[in-house]
Structure 1
């Protein structure tokens, strides 16, 4: 188990987390710390409060309630005692730390000209634990390959938050880059992969070096806005496949369209539960209506049970896997 994220927490909270059963600790997905309110965890899609003795309970009134000092100490630790250097992250409402772990923040917003300038009086934290699960793309990857043209289909992967999109595209990047093509007998060489990692979650880079295994022929543009980053990689790194997480704005759609017209395969993710959801989003409706994507993958989850549905560009269902229980929170 990677313990680097445990070092984020003040001693009081770290002690409680270390009291959890090892299986629970290794499969933690979220840790929610709200000042003067119950400490909460998400493991395997189930939510529990943590008691003063480190036990998992359902009664919020019996749970440990983090103090203001706990919150201030946590903020110091995640910002390395330099909160003023993280103004852009505070404007977006989250901080990504080495390892790709994202920490959502809530508190009082400060506005400038009607827009959020930053967050102050931070009192709420949602620590989302990033996981590297090699092989999670084994089943889906063969469906994403155009055998005749020896290329990767333009693919949009959809799911609600915390259902596994980022874990999946991380393994897709690794396999495509290294030339391991999931559960298929294909023997192609690895392709050049470019990742635009605006939130530093796919590659988990530290000082520009990926912390996760994203493959030997993968170039990562870390912390860069998606639309601008896609254009930068197209101009400078000549990728065969471009991977980008959580598209949604009109400028994202324009950059995806530009990449497709340049002959680059694009694998993107977006929040949603169906192709119809994408039609309801102004930034993405044009991509769907113009059939820019050749494959759609929809991930859904209930607890530890995952469903995966694949559709082609005409939205015809190719395969459905699930519901099934996948060990180790495969799509977490």
Structure 2
């Protein structure tokens, strides 16, 4: 129920718009690295000082017009140039839907190709973030087609999907980020219970550590992290074959600790004003995240926003029922 609640909030366009307008006043700076590229570069530099690399996501929701997708593409191109210019340790994460996947496949592919080409010129990696099941196969198609031209791309495997094993094996020669999954998916496509997802998640990680190119283990769960530490030790897997990833603003002490222990560590760094949908999905993915960041993220105004969001969501559900 709690997961459905946060997913519902993430898809509410009114609340997304309100959060975009008032985000900084609501404490959004605690969950995003900046609203501009300059601010974000400074946040990246600070993380780099601690031996932490970054993958940067230009936030954006509900892109159904070519003008919006082109604007997002240009923003990401500017980000690629800034990463190169400032010589920071960072790469790009992008969502195909933000670049036109819901508008026209070829238009989206052209936008992504432009980004990947620019990043390739500077030796910058580009990760294709995965979204819900409706966009899953087209996103893999984009990866497969563009990988014929470029070798600086990779993607995400979501453990709750039944097809995850097949996708993992097919793309084992790519750099892959393995996650549990953050969307509400139908039972015909995905595991529904936490135990099954957690089990599948560990299986995917272990397989790719043993057989894949490079594994990004994206989790805040210290039990998973400790399991991976033991697994790589027992199987003599070198540090340059994997990294741990966490979200900006989450478990800061553990991020610093893992980097200090000598593990490759990468922080997922979102930037921009369109932060609300992203944040709600992170809470939906693992409601325990609320406990991890409540003291460092929420202030009274943020809690007010969540309260207003809850009321609006409930009202919307009641209105639909009527």
Q: Same fold (TM over 0.5)?
A: no
The TM-score, its normalising length taken from structure 1, stands at 0.31
Structure (1 or 2) with the greater strand fraction = 1
Larger RCO (CA within 8 A; separation ≥ 6): 2
Normalised by the length of structure 2, the TM-score is: 0.32
